[in-house]
Amino acid sequence: MHIGSYTFQEFKNKAAEFHGYPAPGLLIGGYMVEMAKAALPPNILFEAVVESKKCLPDAVQLLTLCSIGNGWMKIINLGRYAVSLFDKYTGEGVRVSVDLDKLGNWPEIEGWFLKLVPKKDQDTEKLFREIETAGDTILRLERVTVQKRLLGHSHMTRIDRCPVCHEAYPVSDGAICRGCQGEAPYEHSRAMAAEECMPTRVPVAEAVGRKALHDMTRIEPGESKGPEFLAGQTITAGDVCRLQQMGRNSIYVQDESLPQGEFVHENDAAVSFAARMAGDGIRCSGEPREGKIDFHAAQSGLLQVDLEALERFNLTPNVMCATRQHCALVEEGRLVGGTRAIPLFLTRDNFSRALAALGDAPIMSIAPLRQAKVGVLVTGTEVFQGLIEDRFAPIIRAKAEALGSTVVGEEFTPDDRQAIADGVKKLLDLGADLIVTTAGLSVDPDDVTRKGLEDAGMTDALHGAPILPGAMTLIGRIGSVQVMGVPACALFFKTTSLDVLLPRLLAGVPITRRDLARIGEGGVCLQCNTCTYPKCTFAK
């Protein structure tokens, strides 16, 4: 079977010239690309999205004008062997993948594709013959519309000289180039080399009349810790004994020998870092103390930490920033983080790297909790019929009011989809902007709470969370109204997913499947005899 205008052997030879050898994945990829091309309307300008970084991109580059270099091919490595060709203006196109259900008649292809046969045991020539014979009969084609974010091309921004390596780079990458931010693939980069700053060191007896170069800490075990001498403070004769008692036999003093511009003092570095890091609701401690600036909550709310930016910053040599956990509830005035340089003097290169790692947006902020109007929907035929007393509504009310919200109504419904949908409507009519439902979320045949909520218009549902107790938790929305389904475990356990996720909803923090997945580490409550949540490891 031909691959476009090529015979199988011709394409095999062409693949070997381009790829280094005629990889089976590239040969199958040829059939995939040609099937996709044939399904497109004639005379359109198309681009490509490839879902694997192995072999398939080369098939696209061999058989189309799309390439990595011209930006018409994007590789989104989803680990799936599939390619999409689409109209570059509308995003409408086709996706071609290998249909596993069709591989049964092709044992060599199946063994190779699913890695069922070790490479050393594969009959390569027989595999090639099967690929040629099977052609596109092992493929599946479907219509797709590519997301708008993948349409068009980003334009090159202004080019500047990196202040660290002095090479040209796009300024959109940050204050320094990405290589100097730590992405260079080399063990030793010339940009990483920096000489050590050696300030003037003198014996304490000779320091009288000189100015201290940095804060010096005095520690009284079990009693106090703090700066005894501040940077810029003039050392007097009476200070010599105190310094010796602190274990200081020599100290660094200010002088004119330090190279100008090549190094940044720890205090100056901390001030610059803090200015970048602090966002809304975060107050800096003022002047650095012992080279460090602390961050405090300027208002009560939910701490937001840009975890990726924090990690990038802490990967930069000789700097640090520590924070409380992302999404921790904090009170006004409480400590939420701190930053400093590690050495007394930070090289200008590492200082620039650290600023570039932070980017232009703050890495921490406080999201205040809104005062929600909560509607509580208690589901369960046994409660509705009065067979048992409801204990759920008081629990929801207590937790909501503790966070500053108000319960505007409570509705009780049987385990019936229509009744649940009607109960939701009544709560919406009362002005509820947060609906909290109870129970009815497990696998029992009578549990129809989710279906009832969907009938009431719920969308964007996330059902299930890696939180114990609280695995059956439900998050969604009805228009602009937030919805949270609380599983029955909240009747028994003091702390559940309700305590973890309710503050996030009140703070207006989006909850995605990835956010829930990250809670999985630490998502098990230890059910201590005396609960100290949130001062524990649960959901941290």
pTM flag (> 0.85): no
Give the 3-state secondary structure of residue 113. Answer: helix
- Cα separation, 150 vs 80, in Å, equals 18
Specify whether 499 is located in the same domain as 447. Answer: yes
State the sign of the Cα–Cα–Cα–Cα dihedral 139, 143, 147, 148: positive
Question: Are both 166 and 202 inside the same structural domain?
Answer: no
Cβ–Cβ < 8 Å for 471, 460:
no
Report if residue 304 sits inside a domain.
yes
Q: Is residue 192 part of a domain?
A: no
Q: Does residue 191 lie within any of the structural domains? A: no
Q: Are residues 454 and 506 in the same domain?
A: yes
Beta carbons within 10 angstroms of residue 492's beta carbon: 10
**What is the pLDDT averaged over residues 384-408?**
95
Mark whether 145 and 215 lie in a shared domain.
Answer: no
Judge whether 34 and 3 are in contact, CB under 8 Å: yes
Cis peptide before 42 (omega within 30 of 0): no
Six token digits for residue 538: 């649960």
Assign residue 177 the CATH number of its domain: 3.30.60.80
Please tell me the predicted confidence (pLDDT) of residue 175: 66
* C-alpha R_g of the chain: 32
| pLDDT number for residue 222 | 84
Residue range 156-183: mean pLDDT, rounded: 80
Task: Return the closest-CA partner of residue 165 out of 145, 182, 147, 146.
Answer: 182
- Show the tokens assigned to 461: 């549902």
Out of 364, 386, 412, a domain closes at: 364
Is residue 125 domain-resident? yes
What pLDDT sits at residue 215? 85
- Which of residues 191 and 519 earns the better pLDDT score? 519
CA 15, 20, 24, 28 dihedral sign is negative
CA dist., res. 207 & res. 216, Å (int): 14
d(CA 536, CA 171): 43
Tokens of 314: 């802490």
Alpha-carbon distance 534 to 327, whole Å? 11
Are 247 and 276 in a shared domain? no
Residue after which a domain boundary falls, among 337, 364, 391: 364
Q: Is the peptide bond before 163 cis (omega within 30 degrees of 0)?
A: no
- pLDDT confidence bin for 162, thresholds 50/70/90: confident
Predicted pLDDT at 143: 97
- CA–CA dist 218, 227 (Å, integer): 6
Residue appearing with tokens 């975060």: 282
Task: Print burial letters for 388-414: b (CB count within 10 Å at least 16), e (below 16).
Answer: eebebbebbbebbeebebebbbbbbbb
Closest of 398, 316, 410 to residue 363, by C-alpha = 316
- 64 and 32 in a single domain? The answer is yes
Mean of the pLDDT values across residues 256-265? 70
Instruction: Say yes or no to pLDDT of 30 above 60.
Output: yes
For the chain, percent of residues with pLDDT exceeding 90 = 69
Q: Domain containing 207 — which CATH number?
A: 3.90.105.10
- Return the C-alpha torsion angle 531, 536, 537, 540, nearest 10: 110
Q: What is the pLDDT of residues 510-527, one digit of tens each?
A: 999 999 999 999 999 999
Whether residue 15 has pLDDT greater than 60: yes
**Number of domains, the chain:** 5
pLDDT class for 93, splitting at 50, 70, 90? Answer: very high
Percent of the chain clearing pLDDT 70 (strictly above): 96
More confident residue, 75 or 153: 75
- Same domain? For 409 and 507 the reply is yes
How confident is the model at residue 298, as a pLDDT? 98
In a domain, 49, yes or no: yes
**pLDDT (0 to 100) of residue 192:** 44
* Residue 126 shares a structural domain with residue 26: yes
Q: Looking at residue 211, what is its pLDDT?
A: 84
Dihedrals phi, psi of 457, to nearest 5 degrees: 110, 10
Structure tokens at 329: 């509830």
**What value does the mean pLDDT take over residues 67-92?**
95
Residue 329: which CATH number? 3.90.1170
pLDDT the model gives residue 257: 58
- Residue 150 DSSP SS3: helix
Length of the chain: 540
Mean pLDDT of 190-210: 70
Predicted confidence (pLDDT) per residue in 458-498, tens digit: 999 999 999 999 999 999 999 999 999 999 999 999 999 99
Once rounded to an integer, what is the mean pLDDT over residues 528-540? 91
Amino acid at 113: F
* AA letter at 325: Q
The per-residue pLDDT for 191 is 41
Q: List the one residue out of 148, 175, 181, 145 whose CA is nearest residue 162.
A: 175
- Return the number of other C-beta atoms located less than 10 Å from residue 343's C-beta: 17
Does residue 64 form part of some domain?
A: yes
Query: What's the mean per-residue pLDDT of the chain?
Result: 91
57 with 175, same domain: the answer is: no
Report the alpha-carbon distance of residue 225 to residue 219 in Å, rounded. Answer: 4
Residues 60 and 110 in one domain: yes
CA distances from 483 to 393, 461, 478 (A): 16, 9, 7
Q: Is the distance from CB of 221 to CB of 234 less than 8 angstroms?
A: no
d(CA 374, CA 127): 63
- The rounded distance, in Å, linking the Cα atoms of 93 and 106 is 29
Give the type of residue at 208: V
How buried is 270 (Cβ within 10 angstroms: 0-12 exposed, 13-18 middle, 19+ buried)?
buried
Q: Which residues contact 150 (CB under 8 A, 6 or more apart)?
A: 49, 74, 91
Q: What pLDDT shows up at residue 194?
A: 44
Residue 533 domain-assigned (yes or no): no
Q: Same domain for 277 and 345? A: yes
Backbone angles phi, psi at 229, to 5 degrees: -130, 140
Helices 24-39 and 56-63, axial angle in degrees (round to 10) = 50
Q: What SS3 class is residue 225?
A: strand
| C-alpha neighbours within 13 Å on the C-beta side of residue 166 | 1
The pairing of strands 434-438 and 373-379 is parallel
**Do 383 and 506 reside in the same domain of the chain?**
yes
Single out the residue in 364, 399, 416 at which a domain terminates.
Answer: 364
Residue 115, domain member (yes or no): yes
Mean pLDDT, residues 384-393 taken together: 92
What is the H or E stretch that residue 250 is in? Answer: strand 250-252
CATH code at position 440: 3.40.980.10
Residue 362 pLDDT > 70:
yes
Instruction: Please report the pLDDT score of residue 352 as a whole number.
Output: 86
Domain containing 223 equals 198-252
DSSP percent split of the chain into helix, strand, coil, nearest 5: 35, 25, 40
pLDDT value of residue 190 = 45
